[in-house]
A and B are shown apart, each in its own frame.
Chain A
Amino acid sequence: DGGITQSPKYLFRKEGQNVTLSCEQNLNHDAMYWYRQDPGQGLRLIYYSQIVNDFQKGDIAEGYSVSREKKESFPLTVTSAQKNPTAFYLCASSIGQGFKDYGYTFGSGTRLTVV
């Protein structure tokens, strides 16, 4: 079955460490997105990529980095510069620009906790 896989489901990080969250899709979607969700809040856009080897900052990109070397993969690195990284992280994909796109497919999320 096609879908988006995020791993790990739970992640613990010590202060000062960088961690990388994995996101893989087999939907052949061009566009991929990373969102952050805090308790009781909606989703906020961190980074997005419309095509391989290209990505743009979202509304809260500071302290995060991404890469898009392959169409199916869009890993997110939470760096030590991110002051409050504890949150629920969601990856999504969509068909992409120029196509009749009904919306996004989301992964099941990674819950990151700083200890």
Chain B
Amino acid sequence: LAKTTQPISMDSYEGQEVNITCSHNNIATNDYITWYQQFPSQGPRFIIQGYKTKVTNEVASLFIPADRKSSTLSLPRVSLSDTAVYYCLGFQRNQGGKLIFGQGTELSVKP
């Protein structure tokens, strides 16, 4: 499973775009890059998943360059409620893949 590296923490202000970059140099060919969001005392929640190029949903965008050694989660116009820990993981879709969580990035959004 891919080992991922993310910044420990980030600060932002309401209304700004936030980009969280994740490094995954040894990602496997069949790994999908998956991001989760976790609020205090709650279980993580799936945000977005992609294999390469760009994926966008109602919550975020995910940019994955051609070499797939990194990925960037983009949160447009964050609000105070986006304050959470964000995890980047490699996930093997068709193999009942185990999710291995790193420490994640603690995002703090200020007024």
Contact = CB atoms under 8 A, between A and B. Distances in A.
Interface of A: 4, 30-31, 33, 35, 40-45, 48, 50, 58, 88, 90-92, 94, 96-109, 111
A109 B98 CA distance: 18
Contacts of A35: 101
Nearest to B44: A106
Contacts of B34: 102-103
A10 to B, nearest CB: 10
Interface of B: 34, 36, 41-46, 49, 87, 91, 93-104
A-B pairs with lowest CB-CB distance, top 5: A106-B43, A97-B96, A42-B101, A43-B101, A103-B46
A96 B96 contact: yes
Contacts, number: 69
22 contacts: A31-B96, A41-B103, A42-B101, A42-B102, A42-B104, A43-B44, A44-B101, A48-B98, A50-B96, A90-B44, A92-B43, A96-B96, A98-B94, A98-B96, A101-B93, A102-B46, A103-B34, A104-B44, A104-B46, A109-B41, A109-B42, A111-B41
B41 to A, nearest CB: 7
Contacts of A4: 43
Contacts of A41: 103
Contacts of B41: 88, 109, 111
A101 B98 contact: no
Contact of B43 (A90, A94, A97, A102): A90
Contacts of B103: 40-42
A101 B94 contact: yes
For B34, B87, B95, B96, the residue with the greatest tally of chain A CB atoms inside 10 Å of its CB is B96
